[in-house]
Chain A
């Protein structure tokens, strides 16, 4: 802990830090590359849509000694369609999961009965999921609809709570996360089930969590940015990321841990099914979400912000000041080096240097002279 705690402290003070914003082109490039790979993967390989999206039946048998190939033969004979048989568990305790695509719910009953007979188990012990062909489509349509509504609402909300640039950046990050997750599904060939869709939709709310934490700190620290000339918007954005880095890591790890537990149990214990499907897409999406909020969303906000005339002017002033300082032989105003000496306990902003160096202007901004506060 102490190491991490220390790192946290140093990140907090700006002694160490990574130039996320400065190196943004690398990360943009990386993300674009991943996104293109994902899209190509999606286009070339397509998604491995589960039985729920094609219509058909999934039968789960009780523990049986019948082999996979034998079960497949039985299933194909009984249904007249191709069957996919998976063995869940190992040894004598194995149960079989038999998927038959393209049969309707009425036929499935007969297949189920026939299978039970062939496998030598009671018909009532064969559980099944029978899905009409339009069911998956319906789920998918609703999911798209939900996605659309959510995106519109959340962009509006973020635009009000923060500003439109942040909303836009969060939106881009979200699309980025979803594309990556879908792309991984296409490339690896994981089966897409309603459980996957659930997981994917949950990422929506969740991948924004980190983004919101960083934006919140960014908003706070850039409040009076125009009243100083030491830092550009990008500098402060970078500082925001660094100062909330420990928080982002912690929240992501803590969010991933239960999902990992689910994935472990879903994958290892049950073999396949809802738990696995939800947690797998969540896991991928959450990881992508953490990445995008740090490497994509915030640098993007900085990029957008720097286009504002106000921020352009500020950047000019800051650069001019720095140039002046260096020609006068003074130590350049390196943000990191500066920070430890410049602590103003009075400042309500804990994490960032820039504004803190202008306590007076900051407080004036709030209409509250610093002297009166304490």
Chain B
């Protein structure tokens, strides 16, 4: 097996000083790197630092199970990250874990609820035609002016989808409702007409044209809808099928809430191939969002824009609905064929990018389910960290006492080795924070504490071997060398098994288990490093000292105390370095 053999190169311990120097240089370098990088403490996980941790699981659309793949998950992570960081939470992190999980960690002191809303929502993107829209809220509530002549409005050509006829009497809204408008790549119309043209029209509540029950129910719903209330907003259009008309809310560019009645979805998010925010320098349109549709999506989009272009405002608008909320409602002035479209308006870079992200996000045939949400206050986190540290200190102290009692002088080597191991673990953990995003969480602390035992076990295996050799009647120096190949093999085999367990856990599991497995794997590796490069050379060196070499009764290697055999034939044999061999 690979593991036991790997030790051989380091096995020849003729130059113990070199190994010791190597490991001390390594520690110095790691410590130096730690201070140079400015990360002198391991990054703390949410459960120790406080904050909110959300675990989301991707659920694929039926028949699209292959959609849960790395590319799609990465896109989702990127969008969620932007969504969360868009809230002004710069320290939050979004990561994939395993194949189908996304972990969102939001540090303390931020509005975790808002962040949860952002990441936890199902991303469902539809393009729906706007049937009617108005500013929602107290002011707007009084505005509706039902028009009796609505049915007479001859402009409504889109009868198949229109359930509420447009009202002839327009009551101009205080602000522009459009966030942008869709045009072809050759943007021709200047923004002004579209802005004014898309002023919200009053709904015709008494629309005589529609006798349909569902429609009137929808209108009643619409009339009641108050988008300024969050709870109402969240429920608006709940459970609406893409094929049904629905009501929805959306925020316009000036931050006002607007309500809509929307027709059935004509194009859905999966029809968008890609979307990008582009700075359009050509015709001074500013930030725009370009969309590229899939083949069938392009046709559908051409179809809907063709129909919409013939309509009067606001029915020439389509709404981009993400998760039931209108994120953009561009108007259309002509049929957009060719599978490409550009949305322009008064975008900032941020809003353009955000829209582009939502558009590409909507293309993912994935929904995300909130699997677990953990909120930890900073106080509780601190307490848990403290508890973990105390537990570690107690564990370490117990091990040290046991080793001292049992191994006496020899335990100095074990304790020094433990300290070296601890120093390496600490520096590497600190450095892994910024490099691979490793965060120390409670299970990881737990793993580190458990690792104290594993590390000390390696020393015990070796020490017992040395003692066995002394019991055979050997003097310390040959005993140290003779015991090493055996002990080495045992240590490698058992560490390999431990590492295997940690690696399997790390790859297979999610969440907290992973942090635990990572620490365990790391410390197991370090255990091998420390035993090979520190414990063994140090013991070789110390075996030359009088205290250990002559078997002082406090050295833990006293032949008499160990009940060694009298070295009957020892005199015949030179105590020259024994050749080490693999047993």
Contact of B22 with A by CB under 8 A: no
Residues of A within 8 A of B511 (CB): 139, 194
Contact of A266 with B by CB under 8 A: yes
Cα separation A273 to B493 with both chains bound (whole Å): 33
Cα separation A206 to B467 with both chains bound (whole Å): 24
Cα separation A262 to B513 with both chains bound (whole Å): 17
B472 and A247 within 8 A (CB): no
Cα separation A59 to B558 with both chains bound (whole Å): 57
- Distance in angstroms from A146 CB to nearest chain B CB is 4
Residues of B within 8 A of A8 (CB): 464, 467, 562-563
Contact of A34 with B by CB under 8 A: no
Contact of A18 with B by CB under 8 A: no
Interface residues of B in 480-537 (CB under 8 A from A): 482-483, 486, 489-490, 493-494, 496-502, 504-505, 508-513, 516-517, 520
A212 and B493 within 8 A (CB): yes
Interface residues of A in 129-155 (CB under 8 A from B): 129-132, 134-135, 138-139, 142-143, 145-146, 149-150, 153-154
Residues of A within 8 A of B397 (CB): 261
B402 and A146 within 8 A (CB): no
B57 and A209 within 8 A (CB): no
Residues of B within 8 A of A212 (CB): 490, 493-494, 497
1/0 contact string of A1-19 vs chain B (CB within 8 Å): 1101110111011000000
Contact of A72 with B by CB under 8 A: no
- Distance in angstroms from A192 CB to nearest chain B CB is 14
- Distance in angstroms from B504 CB to nearest chain A CB is 4
Q: Could you say which of B208-216, B237-245, B447-455 contacts chain A? A: B447-455
A273 and B384 within 8 A (CB): yes
- Distance in angstroms from A99 CB to nearest chain B CB is 14
A149 and B508 within 8 A (CB): yes
B383 and A270 within 8 A (CB): yes
Interface residues of A in 320-374 (CB under 8 A from B): 340, 343, 345, 348-351, 374
Interface residues of A in 207-259 (CB under 8 A from B): 208-209, 212-213, 216-217, 220, 243-244, 246-247, 250-251, 253-259
A257 and B443 within 8 A (CB): no
Cα separation A134 to B56 with both chains bound (whole Å): 11
Cα separation A12 to B563 with both chains bound (whole Å): 10
A153 and B500 within 8 A (CB): yes
- Interface size range on A against B: 35 or more
Residue of B nearest to A57 (CB): B373
- Distance in angstroms from A331 CB to nearest chain B CB is 21
Contact of A94 with B by CB under 8 A: no
B490 and A216 within 8 A (CB): yes
1/0 contact string of B461-474 vs chain A (CB within 8 Å): 10011011101111
Which of A62, A216, A262 contacts B493 (CB under 8 A)? Answer: A216
B508 and A264 within 8 A (CB): no
Which of B391, B510, B564, B568 contacts A266 (CB under 8 A)? Answer: B391
Residue of A nearest to B234 (CB): A106
Residues of A within 8 A of B373 (CB): 105, 108, 128-131
Contact of B44 with A by CB under 8 A: no
Cα separation A266 to B55 with both chains bound (whole Å): 25
B497 and A208 within 8 A (CB): yes
A275 and B387 within 8 A (CB): yes
B387 and A269 within 8 A (CB): yes
Cα separation A52 to B513 with both chains bound (whole Å): 14
Cα separation A138 to B369 with both chains bound (whole Å): 13
Contact of A198 with B by CB under 8 A: yes
Q: Could you say which of B77-85, B291-299, B374-382 contacts chain A? A: B374-382
B561 and A202 within 8 A (CB): no
Residues of B within 8 A of A139 (CB): 509-511, 513
Contact of B15 with A by CB under 8 A: no
Q: Could you say which of B143-151, B156-164, B403-411, B428-436 contacts chain A? A: B403-411
A138 and B449 within 8 A (CB): no
Tell me the total A-B contact number using a CB cutoff of 8 A. 289
Contact of A38 with B by CB under 8 A: no
- Distance in angstroms from B192 CB to nearest chain A CB is 44
Cα separation A343 to B569 with both chains bound (whole Å): 10
Cα separation A153 to B387 with both chains bound (whole Å): 35
Cα separation A348 to B497 with both chains bound (whole Å): 26
- On whether A9 and B563 interact (CB within 8 A), knowing A1-B408, A254-B399, A345-B573, the answer reads yes
Residues of A within 8 A of B490 (CB): 212-213, 216-217
Contact of A36 with B by CB under 8 A: no
Cα separation A350 to B486 with both chains bound (whole Å): 10
Residues of A within 8 A of B486 (CB): 216, 220
Which of B113, B399, B562 contacts A257 (CB under 8 A)? Answer: B399
B377 and A127 within 8 A (CB): yes
Choose among B380, B468, B565 the residue with the greatest number of A CB atoms under 10 Å from its CB: B468
Residues of B within 8 A of A244 (CB): 464
Known A-B contacts: A161-B1, A209-B457. Give 15 more (CB < 8 A).
A1-B561, A127-B380, A142-B98, A153-B500, A154-B497, A202-B501, A205-B497, A206-B454, A209-B454, A216-B486, A259-B453, A264-B394, A343-B568, A345-B570, A374-B574
Q: List 14 A-B contacts (CB under 8 A).
A: A5-B562, A105-B120, A135-B372, A153-B500, A201-B517, A202-B450, A202-B520, A208-B494, A220-B583, A258-B453, A259-B453, A262-B391, A278-B516, A349-B583
**B residues adjacent to A (C-beta < 8 A):** 1, 4, 47, 55, 57, 98, 113, 120, 369-377, 379-380, 383-384, 387-388, 390-399, 402-403, 405-408, 442-443, 446-447, 449-450, 452-454, 456-457, 460-461, 464-465, 467-469, 471-474, 482-483, 486, 489-490, 493-494, 496-502, 504-505, 508-513, 516-517, 520, 556, 561-565, 567-570, 573-574, 581, 583
**A residues adjacent to B (C-beta < 8 A):** 1-2, 4-6, 8-10, 12-13, 52, 60, 62, 105, 108-109, 124-125, 127-132, 134-135, 138-139, 142-143, 145-146, 149-150, 153-154, 157-158, 160-161, 194-195, 197-198, 201-202, 204-206, 208-209, 212-213, 216-217, 220, 243-244, 246-247, 250-251, 253-262, 264-266, 269-270, 273-275, 278-279, 282, 340, 343, 345, 348-351, 374
